[in-house]
Amino acid sequence: MTKPRADILVVIPCYNEESSIQNLVNDIQSVKKQHNLPIDILVVNDCSKDNTLEIVKSLDCLYLDLPVNLGIGGGMQSGYKYAYRNGYKFAVQMDGDGQHPAVELPKLLQEALRNDADIVIGSRFLEGKGFQSSFVRRLGINYFKWLNRILIGKTIHDSTSGFRVFNRKTLEIVNQYYPDEYPEPEAIVLFGLNNLKMKEVPVEMCERQGGVSSIHSFRAVYYMFKVTLGIIFVYIRLKGKYGKCSPIQNSDT
Amino acid sequence: MENVVPFKIQILSIIGTLVFMYFIIRQIIRGKLREEYSIVWFACTIIFLIFSFWRKGLEQISAALGVFYPPSLLFLIAIGAIFIFLVHLSIVNSKLQSQIKDLSHEVAFLKANKTKTTLEQSS
């Protein structure tokens, strides 16, 4: 397709984020200038009902406007596909609600550019600084940590973190398949079984600035159930495909 | 009287089945129902027709299987068929969802390309 202008694509999935998207894009632009980073920004508008698209159009960034609402997984996958097809070497996922501060971006990229991990995950629990999420959510995250450890033998402290950098090898895989709903914990198992090397980097996260979380109250039960099913099925499917996977090197920091 | 009631219901069920079959065929001709989904409905209609003509059949099969109350066998078979068909529909649905996702991605890429081309042409 078209020739890339930069090596790194920052993908921001957006659904009704009119209140936070402008600040986020501007923050990333200023971090880009400050650190002289070779990045393009791609906002994926997942059929927002508010003014998100109009705001995004006026900003200094690329954007995709999905014709139907696909949810976070489908939206992110469109960004990854875009990155893969346009020859970007890395893709970064950053949430559109302002939970992932742009100032932490260079830290993640630095780690990714060192090329000793296929996936770099920004983790809020490694140093325990910044917004730590509620007790119930941390309980859920611990449960996924435990599930991942059993299935792929790797400890990811913050498996629900949506602040991630993928290299091209990873992009090739997510270009083919990426979970639809609540993709983050399931993707960890997908990567583990594909023998990709994951590394966590401590970052500080903020409380969301705008929008509404997609996971609350009664949905939390559905979330846990759906993600567990997704994880187990992706495990069975890939285990059958690749046979017994080789042990994954532990690269925790 | 005992013989008349089953006869009436026999005619009714034969007519009902034929009307149903006509309805299915009409939907296929009009292009509203794909042939592959109609197979299961045809199979149902044929089973209904067989039992409409062969009145003792259900009782004989029930007796052979040790089912005390013949209509319950009919319900069991019907519910089984409905379950299979529902699962089939869920599979079709999942496939469609995944195809829609891929198409939406392509539409989004095309839209982005178009905007880019328009911008390049205007500048």
* pLDDT of the residue at A249: 42
Residue B25 lies in a domain: yes
Tens of pLDDT, residues A191-213:
998 989 999 999 888 876 655 56
* Shared domain check, B49 and B100: no
**Gap between the Cα atoms of B4 and A245, Å rounded:** 71
Residues of B with CB under 8 A from a CB of A: 100-101, 104-105, 107-109, 111-113, 116
* pLDDT of the residue at B2: 45
Question: Of the ranges A66-80, A167-181, B109-123, which one carries the lowest mean pLDDT score?
Answer: B109-123
How far apart are the CA of B79 and the nearest CA of chain A, in angstroms? 27
For residues A39 and A9, is the Cβ–Cβ distance under 8 A?
Answer: yes
B52/A42: higher pLDDT: A42
CA A35 to chain centre: 22
Residue B58 lies in a domain: no
Residue B21 lies in a domain: yes
Which of A2, A66, A180 shows the shortest C-beta gap to B108? Answer: A66
Tens of pLDDT, residues A210-220:
555 656 677 77
**Gap between the Cα atoms of A166 and A163, Å rounded:** 10
**Which pairs from B19-22 meet CB under 8 Å and 24+ separation?**
B20/B45, B20/B48, B21/B45
Q: Closest Cα to residue A75, out of A55, A96, A54?
A: A96
* Shared domain check, B1 and B38: yes
What would the mean pLDDT of A230-240 be, rounded to a whole number? 86
* Shared domain check, B85 and B40: no
* pLDDT of the residue at A33: 92
End-to-end CA distance of chain A: 38
* Shared domain check, B114 and B90: yes
Residues of A with CB under 8 A from a CB of B: 2, 44, 62-68, 70, 74, 77-78, 81-82, 85, 180
* Shared domain check, B70 and B120: yes
Q: Closest Cα to residue A42, out of A68, A67, A60, A27?
A: A60
Residue B85 lies in a domain: yes
Exposed / middle / buried, residue B39 (Cβ in 10 Å: 0-12, 13-18, 19+)? exposed
For residues A251 and A192, is the Cβ–Cβ distance under 8 A?
Answer: no
DSSP A103: G
**Gap between the Cα atoms of A9 and A57, Å rounded:** 17
- Suggest the residue from A42, A43, A70, A80 to mutate for an interface test with chain B (most B CBs closer than 10 A): A70
Mean pLDDT, all residues of chain A = 85
* Shared domain check, B48 and B70: no
Domain boundary among B27, B53, B79: B53
Residue B44 lies in a domain: yes
**Helix and strand totals (H; E) in chain B:** 4, 0
**Gap between the Cα atoms of A117 and A114, Å rounded:** 8
Residue B61 lies in a domain: no
The CATH-assigned architecture of domain A8-242 is: Alpha-Beta Complex (3.90)
Which of A63, A67, A82 shows the shortest C-beta gap to B104? Answer: A67
* Shared domain check, B70 and B49: no
CB contact under 8 A, A70 and B111: no
* Shared domain check, B71 and B114: yes
Residue B18 lies in a domain: yes
Residues of A whose CB is below 8 A from B113: 2
CB contact under 8 A, A67 and B116: no
Q: Would you place residue B7 in the very low, low, confident or very high pLDDT band (cuts 50, 70, 90)?
A: confident
- pLDDT > 90: percent of chain A: 43
A245/A162: higher pLDDT: A162
Between A and B, how many residue pairs show a Cβ–Cβ distance under 8 A? Answer: 39
* pLDDT of the residue at A5: 65
* Shared domain check, B119 and B73: yes
**Gap between the Cα atoms of A142 and A155, Å rounded:** 10
Per-residue pLDDT for A247 more than 60?
no
B47/A108: higher pLDDT: A108
* pLDDT of the residue at A1: 47
CB contact under 8 A, A66 and B109: no
For chain A, the domains span: 8-242
Domain count, chain B: 2
* pLDDT of the residue at A144: 87
Tens of pLDDT, residues A111-133:
998 888 999 999 888 877 777 77
What would the mean pLDDT of B103-122 be, rounded to a whole number? 89
Residue B30 lies in a domain: yes
Q: Would you place residue A141 in the very low, low, confident or very high pLDDT band (cuts 50, 70, 90)?
A: confident
Which of B100, B108, B116 shows the shortest C-beta gap to A65? Answer: B108
* Shared domain check, B32 and B1: yes
* Shared domain check, B42 and B89: no
Q: Closest Cα to residue A214, out of A24, A59, A75, A51?
A: A75
* pLDDT of the residue at A43: 94
CA angle A73, A135, A230 (to 5 degrees): 30
State which residues form the domain around B35: 1-53
* Shared domain check, B117 and B71: yes
What secondary structure does DSSP assign to A147-158, as a single string?
A: HHHHHHS---TT
**Gap between the Cα atoms of A174 and B11, Å rounded:** 59
